[in-house]
Each structure stands twice: as structure tokens, then as C-alpha cells.
């Protein structure tokens, strides 16, 4: 009898606990879409504007007219966009410095004077783990930045 009351009390507690409520974020449907930015020159305003348009189309595709969903989707891209833009600017700066170095040596490799190491930006931030809508920006640098 005591055992039955104990099990009933445990079951009631589990049903009434905050983890069992329908508002729990794990009960929500998670929607995700990927936006490719690898072919864009993000060191220019035109490239950043095109990335913004691509994100906008992806957000509308995944959320439709749901304003709360759209806000959450845009929020999931903020840190990623900042990282992708800074990484692209860094890659282009490194490519320009290397091209200038080769031009100064007549097209052949020469030993440059030692210079401080310029590290790449930190890794891209992950999308929020508890979001119901996640927009992931994929970035892979193009194989050739400039041809001389």
C-alpha cells in the first residue's frame, strides 16, 4: 500500500515538474536551414549585402510569416555573420600580402624579413543550442582570391 502511494506521488510529481511542461524547449520543433557564403567577397559592402539577402530568403523560407520565428532565426546568424566577414577580410589580407611579397621578389620565392604572426580569427560561434530555428552559414574560401 505504501509502495503504491509512493509510486503515485512520484508519477504526480513527474507530471507537475517544470521539465514535463509543454513549453519546454525540447518539445518544440527545430527547423534548420543552411546559407552558403563561400562564393561571396565579404570584404565589400556588396558581398555583405548579398549575404544578408540570402539569409533573408532562407529565413522567409523556413519561417514564412511567423514574426517570432523570423526574429529567432535572424538572432541565430548575428555571431556567425561577424565571424564570416572578419575571416574573409583576414584571408584576403593574407593573400594580398603574399602577392605583394611575390611581386617584390620578381615572381620567385624569397625569404621575407621576419614579421609578427597574424593569426586567423577565432572559430565561428555555434548557433544557439536551445533555438527552435537555426540558420547556419557555411563558409569555405574560394580556391583562388586573385590572379596576377
pLDDT in tens, 17-47: 444 444 444 455 677 888 888 888 888 899 9
Q: CA 83, 85, 89, 90: dihedral to nearest 10 degrees?
A: 10
pLDDT of residue 26: 47
Alpha-carbon distance 58 to 74, whole Å? Answer: 10
Dihedrals phi, psi of 136, to nearest 5 degrees: -105, 130
Closest CA to 37 of 84, 73, 83, 3: 84
pLDDT of residue 118: 63
Q: Show the beta-strand stretches assigned E in the chain.
A: 31-36, 133-138
Closest CA to 139 of 80, 60, 62: 80
pLDDT of residue 20: 45
pTM score of the predicted model: 0.61
Q: How many angstroms from the chain centroid is the CA of residue 61?
A: 18
Average pLDDT over residues 98-107: 77
Residue 113: pLDDT over 70: no
Amino acid at each position: 500500500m505504501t509502495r503504491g502511494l509512493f509510486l503515485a506521488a512520484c508519477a504526480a510529481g513527474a507530471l507537475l515538474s517544470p521539465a514535463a511542461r509543454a513549453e519546454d524547449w525540447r518539445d518544440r520543433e527545430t527547423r534548420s536551414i543552411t546559407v552558403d557564403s563561400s562564393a561571396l567577397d565579404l570584404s565589400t559592402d556588396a558581398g555583405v549585402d548579398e549575404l544578408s539577402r540570402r539569409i533573408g530568403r532562407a529565413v522567409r523560407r523556413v519561417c514564412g510569416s511567423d514574426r517570432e520565428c523570423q526574429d529567432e532565426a535572424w538572432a541565430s546568424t548575428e555571431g556567425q555573420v561577424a565571424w564570416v566577414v572578419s575571416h574573409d577580410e583576414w584571408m584576403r589580407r593574407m593573400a594580398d600580402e603574399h602577392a605583394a611579397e611575390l611581386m617584390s621578389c620578381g615572381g620567385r620565392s624569397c625569404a621575407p624579413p621576419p614579421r609578427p604572426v597574424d593569426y586567423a580569427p577565432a572559430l565561428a560561434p555555434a548557433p544557439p543550442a536551445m533555438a527552435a530555428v537555426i540558420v547556419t552559414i557555411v563558409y569555405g574560401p574560394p580556391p583562388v582570391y586573385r590572379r596576377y
